């Protein structure tokens, strides 16, 4: 790393004020550490935005057999072709969603000294506030601050460990989404032609990571990103976004905006589920663009499987394999897969190719 860049990163990191601190200081020009490399900015000119919609799936009537079959078909098609979809009528009260958003906004906008108590880059900490988990590994810093909460099991974290300003609303939201996650894994199991409890028995929903991102208004959004393009190294992600927008999904080699829908949740297939499904379901590239308006707020819950058991091995589901559909991926340890993700920058290449089984042709 360039010595001057390293000093700039360290100087910024030491403030423990994040991007919000820069905005509060009245910055009108982006610090160099946030400006994307020239080659990236030039490549951006080759992309255009497609005016099509990520699939929106209505879960109303999910307990009725015929309606459930239709929903499963829609989820299967979206998981195969997009790797992303939005769900409405998911059963989580709108008040729970709104309260979680408001509580987390209050966390980021409270007095800086109160936030600094949680500022850390130690990934072993259960509660972590920081700006860019990959600040020292990435090519460019992203325009966002984050609050992360690791939950290896239900009830594993004590309320008093969380910031007081968002404690109750965050815990209520987490519990609702974990219950909804059980439903999602049932539907995805059925979409793979398996029994509803199949993915649950594999402990895909055992542990999760709660991550709240705060994207302040950016003075030069064309020069940076809110989140660099990446794949999620998890089984499944459930995302709540506000009405500002900025999330984009790669589809047919172009970027598609994920339109904010009030009360909807965005679901995306993670790389680990792509491997389990032997490639039937797709994990796709996505990113967040920076905005002149803000702050934008999002809440992601990543279902990361069983990391409490380091030796837990996953691989393509045996019931999906056949002579015509041989395994395309090697077995892996979830803990190792996720650990590799945190060793590199967010915009770096996906690790999934390393797990592909190379086939030879005669």
pLDDT for 214:
98
pTM of the model: 0.93
Cis peptide before 295 (omega within 30 of 0): yes
Q: What is the extent of the structural domain holding 234?
A: 3-349
Q: Contact 19/144 with Cβ under 8 angstroms?
A: yes
Strands 84-88 and 56-58 come out as parallel
pLDDT for 202:
92
Token pair belonging to 70: 């239709």
CATH number, domain of 345, equals 2.60.120.330
Beta strands in 7-47 (DSSP E): none
If DSSP codes are grouped into helix, strand and coil, which group holds residue 295? Answer: coil
pLDDT for 348:
59
pLDDT for 362:
43
| Mean pLDDT of each 10-residue bin along the chain, 362 residues long | 84 96 96 93 75 95 96 98 98 98 97 94 92 92 96 76 95 96 98 97 91 98 96 95 96 93 97 96 96 96 78 90 94 77 67 78 44
Is residue 362 in a domain? no
**Distance, CA of 135 to CA of 346 (rounded, Å):** 9
If DSSP codes are grouped into helix, strand and coil, which group holds residue 312? Answer: coil
Token pair belonging to 362: 């005669």
Is residue 356 in a domain? no
Which one-letter DSSP state was computed for residue 157? Answer: S
Q: Contact 352/247 with Cβ under 8 angstroms?
A: no
Is residue 359 in a domain? no
Angle 299-304-305 (CA atoms, 0-180°, nearest 5)? 140
Q: Contact 228/345 with Cβ under 8 angstroms?
A: yes
Give counts: helices (H), strands (E), the chain: 10, 14
Domain count, the chain: 1
pLDDT for 238:
98
If DSSP codes are grouped into helix, strand and coil, which group holds residue 181? Answer: helix
**Distance, CA of 110 to CA of 119 (rounded, Å):** 14
Is residue 360 in a domain? no
Is residue 361 in a domain? no
pLDDT for 154:
61
DSSP string computed for 113-150: HHHHTTB---TTSSEEEES-TTTTTSSS--S-EEEEEE
Q: Contact 13/204 with Cβ under 8 angstroms?
A: no
Is residue 357 in a domain? no
Is residue 333 in a domain? yes
Give residue 258's Cα distance to chain centre.
Answer: 14
The Cβ-side half-sphere exposure at 80, using a 13 Å CA radius, reads: 9
pLDDT for 1:
55
């Amino acid at each position: 790393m360039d010595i001057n860049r390293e000093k700039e990163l360290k100087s910024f990191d030491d403030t423990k004020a994040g991007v919000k601190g820069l905005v509060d200081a009245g910055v009108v020009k982006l610090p160099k550490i946030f400006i994307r490399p020239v080659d990236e900015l030039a490549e951006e000119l080759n992309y255009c935005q497609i005016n099509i919609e990520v699939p929106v799936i209505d879960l109303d009537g999910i307990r009725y057999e015929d309606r459930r079959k239709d929903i499963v078909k829609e989820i299967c098609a979206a998981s195969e072709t997009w790797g992303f979809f939005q769900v409405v009528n998911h059963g989580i009260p709108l008040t729970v969603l709104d309260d979680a958003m408001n509580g987390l906004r209050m966390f980021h906008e409270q007095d800086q000294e109160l936030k600094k108590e949680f500022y850390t880059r130690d990934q072993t900490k259960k509660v972590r506030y920081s700006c860019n988990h990959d600040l020292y590994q990435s090519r460019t810093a992203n325009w966002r601050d984050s609050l992360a909460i690791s939950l290896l099991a239900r009830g594993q974290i004590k309320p008093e460990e969380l910031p007081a300003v968002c404690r109750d609303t965050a815990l209520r939201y987490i519990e609702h989404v974990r219950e909804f996650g059980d439903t999602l894994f049932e539907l995805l199991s059925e979409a793979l032609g398996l029994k509803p409890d199949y993915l649950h028995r594999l402990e895909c929903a055992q542990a999760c990571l709660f991550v709240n991102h705060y994207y302040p208004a950016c003075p030069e959004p064309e020069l940076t990103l809110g989140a660099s393009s990446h794949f999620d190294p998890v089984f499944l992600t459930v995302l709540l976004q506000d009405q500002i927008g900025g999330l984009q999904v790669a589809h047919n080699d172009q970027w598609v905006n994920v339109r904010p829908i009030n009360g909807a949740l965005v679901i995306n297939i993670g790389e680990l589920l792509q491997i389990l499904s032997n490639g039937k379901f797709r994990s796709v590239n996505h990113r967040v663009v920076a905005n002149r308006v803000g702050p934008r707020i999002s809440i992601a819950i990543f279902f990361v499987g069983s990391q409490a058991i380091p030796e837990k091995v996953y691989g393509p589901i045996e019931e999906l394999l056949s002579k015509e559909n041989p395994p395309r991926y090697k077995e892996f340890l979830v803990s190792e897969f996720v650990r590799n993700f945190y060793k590199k920058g967010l915009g770096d290449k996906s690790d999934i190719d390393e797990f592909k089984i190379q086939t030879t042709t005669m």
